[in-house]
Amino acid sequence: MKSNLIYSVLGVVFKTLFPIIIYPYITRVLGVANLGEYNFYASTVAYLSLFSTFGISLYGTKEIGRLKDDKKAYSQVFGELVTINIIMSAAVYLFIFVLILFSDSYQNVTLFLITSITIVENAIGAEYLFVALEKQKFMLLRNICFKILSLILIFMFVLDKDDLIAYAVIMLISTAGVSITNILTYKNKIDWKSIRVSDFHLLVYFAPLLQVFIMDVMIHYYGMMDIVILGNLDTVESVGFYSVASKIYALTYAFLASTAVPLLPRAAYYVDNGMENEYNSMVSRCYDIYLLIVTISAFILYYFAEDIVELISGEEFRHGYKALRYFAPTLFFSSFCNFFIFEVFYPKKQGKLVLLALLVSILMNLIFSYILIPALSYVGCAIAFLVSYIVLFLVFVFIGRKYLPKFSGYNDFMKEIIGVVFCLILCMQLSKTDIHFLFQLILCGFVFVMTQLILQNATTMYFVRLVKNKINHA
Query: Concatenated DSSP letters for 367-399?
Result: HHHHHHHHHHHHHHHHHHHHHHHHHHHHHHHHH
- Return the closest-CA partner of residue 256 out of 16, 35, 439, 61: 16
pLDDT at residue 110, rounded to an integer = 93
Tell me the CA distances in angstroms from 293 to 252, 261, 286, 323, 416, one per residue in order: 10, 18, 11, 21, 10
More confident residue, 19 or 147: 147
Q: Which residues contact 34 (CB under 8 A, 6 or more apart)?
A: 161, 164, 240
* pLDDT higher than 90, residue 420: yes
Q: How many residues does the chain have?
A: 474
Mean pLDDT for all residues in the chain: 82
Q: How far, in Å, CA of 287 to CA of 111, rounded?
A: 43
Q: pLDDT (tens digit, 9 = 90+) per residue, 454-467?
A: 999 888 888 788 77
Residue 263 reports pLDDT greater than 90: no
Residue 398 one-letter amino acid: F
Work out the percent of the chain whose per-residue pLDDT is above 70. Answer: 90
Q: Tell me the whole-structure pTM to 2 decimals.
A: 0.76
Closest by CA to 239, choosing from 119, 307, 24, 247, is: 247
CB atoms within 10 A of CB 182: 22
Closest CA to 23 of 234, 167, 173, 176: 167
Of the pLDDT bands very low, low, confident and very high (cuts 50, 70, 90), residue 262 is very low
Report whether pLDDT(328) > 90.
yes
Phi-psi region of 176 (alpha: psi -120 to 50; beta: other; left: phi over 0): alpha
- pLDDT > 90? residue 144: no
The pLDDT score that the predictor gives to residue 343 is: 75
pLDDT, residue 1, reads 45
- Mean pLDDT across the stretch 161-179? 87
Per-residue pLDDT, averaged over 303-307, amounts to 92
Residue 387's pLDDT band (cuts 50, 70, 90): very high
**pLDDT tens-digit series, residues 399-411:** 888 887 777 778 8
Phi first, then psi: what are they for 458, rounded to 5°? -60, -40
> What confidence tier does 253 reach under pLDDT thresholds 50, 70, 90?
confident
> What percentage of residues in the chain have a pLDDT greater than 90?
27
* C-alpha span between 319 and 313 (Å, rounded): 10
Per-residue confidence (pLDDT) for residue 424, from 0 to 100? 93
Specify the higher pLDDT residue, 64 or 298.
Answer: 298
What is the mean predicted confidence (pLDDT) over 440-460?
A: 90
